[in-house]
Amino acid sequence: MRTLITGGAGFVGSHLSERFLAEGHEVLCVDNLITGSLSNIEHLRGNDRFSFIRHDISHPLEIDGTLDNILHFASPASPVDYLRHPIATLKVGSLGTHNTLGLAKLKKARYLVASTSEVYGDPEQHPQREDYWGNVNPIGVRGVYDEAKRFGEAMTMAYHRFHGIDTHIVRIFNTYGERMRLDDGRVLPNFVGQALRGESLTVYGQGTQTRSFCYVSDLVEGIFRLLFVDFHDPVNLGNPNEVTILEFAQEILALTGSASKIEYKPLPADDPKVRRPDITRARQLLGWEPKIDRHEGLERTVEHFRRKIQKN
C-alpha cells in the first residue's frame, strides 16, 4: 500500500509514519516544518519505502502514481503554536482539508482526518461523547484551532456524502510521548521541562481543571484500526483516566525527583475546565482501549526529555 501522511514530521505524524512503514506501506511524508522537525523522521529517511516532501498542504499537491490512503495530520496543535500561526492554522484546517480530500477523490484513496477534543470547547457534557456538539467560542483566541477542526470535520463529511469518499474522523484527546517538543506550550512538556530545569511548575487557576493523557503508541494503534473500518462518523481516541492539573504537577515532581515549587497564574481565556473522552464507540467499533498507564508512559517521556535537556 502507498500512504500519504500530512504533518508526517510532527509529533504524532512521525509515529504514524513509523507505524505504516512497519506495516509494509510505502510512506509519503508531507510537512512544511513550521512545527514539525526533520529530527523526528531522521531514523526513517534511510528506508527506501519512505520519502519526505516539504510542502504546505494549504496549497494543492500533485502526486504521481497511485495512493491507497491519505491521513491529514498537518496543523499546529498546541496553544503556543496556533496562537503564533493563527491564519496558517485556519488555512490548513480548511484549505488543507479541501486539498487532501480532493486528492483522495482523484486517487480513490481512503481518507482520515485528525480532529481534536477541542471541537467540544469548554464542555457542558462530561465525559465527552461523539454526539455532543460542543461549547465553542468561535471568535475567542482558541477559535482559530477549534473552528479549523470543526470546519475540517464538516468538509470531510460533505465529501463522504456527496462524492462517496471513504472518510474517517478521529477526535484526538491529550496525547504525549517521545518527540514532543519541550517548547510546544502544552502542559506535559511544560511541567517536565520546568521540573528537570529546577524551575517552578506553572499551574493556571487553582489547578482544578482536568485532563486525560493518552500515550502516543496507544493513539497510533487506534488510528490504524480506524482507517480500515467501514465507519464514517467521528471517533474519540484518548485515555479516560482523568487527573486534575494540580495532581498531575505533583506526579511530575515525584517522578523527576525535582525540588521545584508550584507557581499559580491566572487561567487563560476559554481554557476547558474538564476534558475526558467517552471511548465507548472506539471500544465497540475498533476493539480498542489504551494499554499504557500514565506512570509507565510518563517514565518513558521524562527520560526522553531528560536526554534532550542534557544534549542541549
pLDDT digits (tens, 9 = 90+) for 82-131: 999 999 999 999 999 999 999 999 999 999 999 999 999 999 999 999 99
- Work out the average pLDDT over 241-262: 95
CATH of span 2-176+213-239+277-291: 3.40.50.720
CATH 3.90.25.10 segments of the chain:
187-208+242-275+297-311
CATH 3.40.50.720 segments of the chain:
2-176+213-239+277-291
Q: Residue 184: its pLDDT value, please? A: 87
Catalytically active residues, by annotation: 145
What is the CA 300 to chain-centroid distance, rounded?
A: 18
Q: Residue 12: its pLDDT value, please? A: 98
The amino acid occupying position 192 is V
- Work out the average pLDDT over 4-18: 98
In the CATH hierarchy, which top-level class contains the domain 187-208+242-275+297-311? Answer: alpha beta
Is residue 261 packed enough to be buried (19+ CB in 10 Å), middle (13-18) or exposed (0-12)? exposed
Q: Residue 297: its pLDDT value, please? A: 96
Q: What is the mean pLDDT of the chain?
A: 96
Element (H, E) at 189: helix 187-197
What number of H helices and E strands is found in the chain? 9, 13
* pLDDT grade for 271, boundaries at 50, 70 and 90: confident
Q: Residue 215: its pLDDT value, please? A: 98
Q: Residue 308: its pLDDT value, please? A: 87
- Work out the average pLDDT over 47-60: 98
pLDDT at 201 over 80: yes
The amino acid occupying position 246 is L
Q: Residue 183: its pLDDT value, please? A: 86
